[in-house]
Structure 1
Amino acid sequence: MRKIILTVLGILLIVASFFLAKYLIDNKNKVKPVAPKVVKVVFADTVKNSTIPIVIPANGNLTAKRRFELYAEVEGIFKPGNVLFKAGQTYKKGQTLIRIEDSEYYSTVQSAKSDLYNSIAAIMADLRLDFPEVFPKWEAYLRSFDLNKATPKLPEMSSEKENYFITGRSIVSNYYNVKNLEQRLSKYVIRTPFKGILTEALVNEGTLIRNGQKLGEFIDPSVYEMEVAISKSFAGLLQVGEAVALKNLEGTESYTGKVSRVNGSVDATTQTIQVFIDVQDENLKEGMYLEAYVDAKDEENAIEIDRNLLLDTKEIFVVRDSVLDVIPVKPIHFSDTKVVLKDVPDGSVIVARPIQGGYAGMLVKVFTEQESKNN
C-alpha cells in the first residue's frame, strides 16, 4: 500500500513538472510590448525679420547742472539778514545770501579813497598852470568823485607829459590800491548768481566766519543732469540733443531728457564712455535715482527673443517636420532679458519658450490655440 502511494505521488510530481516547464517555455517566447513614443509639446513662433530699435539701459543720480559752492574769502561775524540762511530756503537772482561784518574794513577803504581824492585835489593848481588843456577833465573827475560810491575810472591820459606828471604824484598807484580794497570789500557780501535754493548751510548767523571756510551749497533746481556710463561700442551712435526716456525706480513716473554732452575719452578700467543727460521737471530733486533708456540705433533685418532661448553655442532651437533642430545665429545686442539676433531666416519656426532637456532630433509637437481650447 505504501509503495502504491509513493508511485502515485511520483507520477503526479512528474506531470506537474511537465506542465510547469511548458508554461515557462510559452511565456519566454511571448513578444514584449513596445513602449509608446513620447512627443513633447512646445511653444513656437514663426520668424519675421524687421527693424529692431536697440535701447541701451543705464542708470544714475541727478545732480544740479548749475551749482554754487559758498566759500568765505574774508573773515568776520555773520550778520543776520532778511532771509534765514537755512537749507531749503529759496532765493531770487541777486539776493543777498550772506553778509559779513565789514565796518572795520569799510573804514580802511574810505580812508584810502579819501587819500586818493586829496592827492588829486593837491595837483589841480599845477594842472591849471602847466596843463590847462587837461585841467577840465580832472576837475570834472573830482566833481564826480563820491566817497559813498565806487571809485570812478581815472581820466584817459592825452600825452606823455600828463602821464609822467600824474604817475609821478603816485595817483595811479593810489587809484589801483583803492580799487583793490573795494574789490575785497565786495567779498563781505555774497549774492545769488541765479534763482535757486540753498541745499546746504554750514554756518549760523552770529558765528565767526574764517577765510577759506565752506559756508554751504546753492543750486538751480530748474535743470538737472544725470551721468551714465555707456559701452564704448555705442560711442559713435550717440548724438548731442538726442531724446532719452527716463523712469524712477518704482516705474511710476516717466520723464524725457536729452543728451547734453558725450565724453571724448573712454574709461580704461570699465571700457565705458560718460554720457550726460539733461532733464527738467518740477517734481525732480537732486540725488534722485533714475533709469535711462538711450536709443542707440535701429538694427535692420533682425529679431528679438528672450535671452534664455539663446544656447551657449550661439544657436537657437527650431522645429522642422515635428523634429527639434538647432541653427546658428548672430547676437547683436544683449539687454537684461532680451537679445537681438540676426541671420535667422524668415519663416523659420523657432521655439518661443525654453525646453527642459531639449536636444536636436527630439520629437515635438507645436502647441496651437485649438489644442488649448480643446483642453
Structure 2
Amino acid sequence: MRKAILAVLGILLVVGAIFGAKYLIDSKQRVRPIPPKVVKTVFADKVENTVVPIIISANGNLTAKRRVEIYAEVQGVFKPGRKLFKPGQEYRNGEQLISIDASEYYATVQSAKSNLYNALTAIMPDLRLDFPEVYNKWQEYLNNFDINKTTPELPEMTSEKENYFISGRGIVSNYYNTKNLEQRLSKYNIRAPFRGILTQALVTEGTLVRAGQKLGEYIDPTIYEMEVAISKSYADLLEKGKKVALNNLEGTQNFEGTVSRVNGSIDVTTQTVTAFIEVKDERLKEGMYLEAKLEAKQEENAIEVNRSLLLDNNEIYVVRQDSILDVVSVNPVYFSDAKVVLKDVADGTVIVTRPLQGAFAGMLVKIFEEDNTK
C-alpha cells in the first residue's frame, strides 16, 4: 500500500512539473507588434527623348601664342636703359630691351673698317691705270664710305679680271670680315620683336652677362593658346576653326575660343589627340586655368541624367503604376564628369531623378509632388 501511494505521488509530481514548465514558457512569449509599412518618397520625372549635344570637357593652362626666350649671344655688362628690365614692363615693336656694354668690341669693329678703307685706298692708283672703266664706281664707293656707319655693300664686279684683281688684294675677305664683326656688334643690343610685355627677368642693370645665358621671357599678351587632350573617339570631329566655349573654374567668366591646330598623331600612352584652342581677351593672363567645352556631336533619341542614377549593371530605377520601384536596362553612350547620356529609354517612362538610399526592385514608393499653391 505504501508503495502504491509513493508511486501515485511521484506521477503527480512529474505531471505538475511539466505543467509548471509549460506555464513558465508560455508566460515568456511576447507578442511582437506588426511593423507598419514604410513608403518612401522619391523624386521622379517622365522621360521625353530629345537631341542631346555631346559636350566634351577639357582643361588646360593658357600660354602665349607668341613667346620669346631671351638669351645673350655675347658677353658684357648689362647697361641701364630707358626702361627698367623688370617683369610686367611693356615694350613697343623694335624698342630696346637690353643693352650690353660693347665699347671694347666696338673698337675692334672700327679697326676692321679702317683696314678695309685703307686697303681700298691702296688699290685706287692701280685701278686707275689698269681698269679705268671701273675706276669711277670704286671711287664713288670710297667717297661714300663712312667709318661711323654700316659698311656699304661692295660694287658689283662685271668682269673676271676685275674680280681677280679685287679679290687678290684682300678686299673681299676684308669686307666680309668687317660685316661679320658688325653683325656680332648688333647682338649687344636686343630689341623687342613685337609689341608685348616682359614676364620674366633674370638679370638686372650692372650684371655681367655671359654668352648663352638666359636673360628673361617676353610674350605677346593679346593672344593665347590652350592645349587640351581629347579622346581619340572624337578626333575626327575636331576641325580647325571650330568655335569653343571657355570658362574659368569658378564659372564667373566666359570666353570664346577657336580651334587653331589639331595634332595629326595620337598619343600612344593616353590614346588622346592634342588640340590647340586660340583665344583673345583682355581679361586673360598667361597661366590661367580654363575649362573648354567642345560640342563633338548630337545624339538623337536620348536623355541626359546624373551619373549617380546609373547602376553598376547599366540599369536605372523607374516607378511602375506610380507606387512600385523597378529597374530597366539602358544603353549609356557618353559619360561626362557629372552626367551620362542614355538611350533605349521609352518616352513616358517615369524614372527616379535623385538617388534613393536602400532602394530595391519591388519597393513601395510615393512620387513627390510639389505644392504649386504657394
TM-score by length of 1: 0.85
- The aligned counterpart of 1:148 is 148
1:347 aligns with 2:355: no
Code of the aligned partner of 1:134: V
Distance 1:211 1:320, change over 3 A: same
| Counterpart Cα distance in 2 of 1:136 and 1:108 | 30
1:60 aligns with 2:64: no
| Counterpart Cα distance in 2 of 1:283 and 1:368 | 45
1:109 aligns with 2:109: yes
Code of the aligned partner of 1:287: G
Cα shift at 1:268: 2.2
1:293 aligns with 2:265: no
Alignment identity in percent?
Answer: 68
Deviations for 1:239-289, whole angstroms, at most 9, x for unmatched residues?
222222222222222222222222222222222222222222222222222
- The more displaced of 223-232 and 356-365 is 356-365
Distance 1:49 1:112, change over 3 A: same
Code of the aligned partner of 1:81: G
1:197 aligns with 2:183: no
Deviations for 1:119-176, whole angstroms, at most 9, x for unmatched residues?
2222222223332332232222222222111111112221222222221112111111
> For 2:53, what is the secondary structure of its paired residue?
strand
- The aligned counterpart of 1:274 is 274
1:179 aligns with 2:179: yes
Cα shift at 1:185: 0.3
- The aligned counterpart of 1:335 is 336
| Counterpart Cα distance in 2 of 1:85 and 1:221 | 17
1:219 aligns with 2:210: no
> For 2:355, what is the secondary structure of its paired residue?
coil
| Counterpart Cα distance in 1 of 2:89 and 2:46 | 61
- The aligned counterpart of 1:136 is 136
- The aligned counterpart of 1:8 is none
- The more displaced of 37-46 and 308-317 is 37-46
| Counterpart Cα distance in 2 of 1:84 and 1:362 | 75
Cα shift at 1:327: 2.3
Cα shift at 1:112: 0.8
Cα shift at 1:40: 4.1
- The more displaced of 139-148 and 304-313 is 139-148
Code of the aligned partner of 1:288: M
| Counterpart Cα distance in 2 of 1:85 and 1:38 | 75
1:326 aligns with 2:334: no
Code of the aligned partner of 1:123: I
Cα shift at 1:108: 0.8
> Which segments of 5 or more consecutive residues in structure 2 lack a partner in the other structure?
1-18, 27-31
Cα shift at 1:337: 1.3
Counterparts in 2 of 1:69-84, with a 5 A limit? 69-84=69-84
Cα shift at 1:33: 10
TM-score by length of 2: 0.85
Code of the aligned partner of 2:193: P
Distance 1:213 1:34, change over 3 A: closer
Code of the aligned partner of 1:85: F
| Counterpart Cα distance in 2 of 1:112 and 1:80 | 28
> How many pairs align?
349
Distance 1:110 1:45, change over 3 A: same
| Counterpart Cα distance in 1 of 2:292 and 2:214 | 34
| Counterpart Cα distance in 2 of 1:94 and 1:169 | 39
> For 1:123, what is the secondary structure of its paired residue?
helix
Deviations for 1:328-362, whole angstroms, at most 9, x for unmatched residues?
22212111211011222222222222233333333
| Counterpart Cα distance in 2 of 1:190 and 1:374 | 75
| Counterpart Cα distance in 1 of 2:266 and 2:105 | 51
1:170 aligns with 2:161: no
> For 1:109, what is the secondary structure of its paired residue?
helix
Code of the aligned partner of 1:267: D
Distance 1:86 1:35, change over 3 A: closer
Cα shift at 1:373: 5.9
- The more displaced of 144-153 and 41-50 is 41-50
1:207 aligns with 2:226: no
- The aligned counterpart of 2:12 is none
Distance 1:218 1:33, change over 3 A: closer
| Counterpart Cα distance in 1 of 2:90 and 2:104 | 31
- The aligned counterpart of 2:251 is 251
- The aligned counterpart of 1:126 is 126
- The aligned counterpart of 2:263 is 263
Cα shift at 1:75: 0.9
Cα RMSD for the two superposed structures: 2.8
Distance 1:374 1:359, change over 3 A: farther
